[in-house]
Amino acid sequence: MQFDQLREVIHSRRSVRNFTDQNVSLQDVKDMIDCARYAPSDTNSQTWEFIAIMNRSTIKEIEQITWEQLHRMAKIAEDNGLAREAKLLVKSFGPYATAFADAPVLIVCLATAYTSKFRDRIFDPIGFGNETIWNEEGIKSSSLAIQNMMLAAHAKGLATCPMTGPVLLAEKQLRDYLDIPNDRQLNMVIALGYPKVQPKAIARKEIDEILRIVE
């Protein structure tokens, strides 16, 4: 692949929240995970794991779980005198947090804590780092894999939307519902399907705004 082709794949990817009724094949999902697993990771720790939910009823259940926790949070805010914020939470944030509802596939992205021979032989014995740091390292590597996966989906004509809302609102409930062990972190969920519409490009910061050259 030439650079211009790769750049076109990257530049044309969009976060899509409306999907057609067309199903996604299991082979397409496996192809995407194959691309995900070739992402770089800290000392090749490969801290990523994925749960691909391809049952629409199960996806609807997860939507309901998310909404229930959203309304619970809104009720607490309202009881604390924050009625306006509670209303905004439901009406503004709610649709973003549940934008996976009509997707034929929902991929739950997990991360394990960073482990390696460096940690076992050096870092832990000298007391360098802590569980929070190693969990963050696991999330970083997992996120690199997720980007690979989303670009692979786009190259196949599929669409994705990464979301943290269900994790922020209903992590415990999702763990229980999907039987996710406590030593796995919930990173985010990815809605996957065929796009009903292709969103327009949105403005990006100019290169000079985000790049500092040191010579």
User: Going residue by residue through the chain (215 aa), what tens digit of pLDDT does each one get?
Assistant: 799 999 999 999 999 999 999 999 999 999 999 999 999 999 999 999 999 999 999 999 999 999 999 999 999 999 999 999 999 999 999 999 999 999 999 999 999 999 999 999 999 999 999 999 999 999 999 999 999 999 999 999 999 999 999 999 999 999 999 999 999 999 999 999 999 988 888 899 999 999 999 99
Reported in sequence order, the residue ranges of the chain that DSSP labels E, i.e. its strands, are 48-53, 105-111, 159-163, 185-193
Residues facing 193 on adjacent strands: 159
Superfamily of domain 3-210: NADH Oxidase (3.40.109.10)
pLDDT per residue as tens digits for the range 151-200: 999 999 999 999 999 999 999 999 999 999 999 999 999 999 999 988 88
- The pLDDT assigned to 79 comes to 97
| Residue 24 C-alpha from the chain's centroid | 18
What are the structural domain ranges in the chain?
3-210
- C-alpha 101/C-alpha 97 separation (Å) is 10
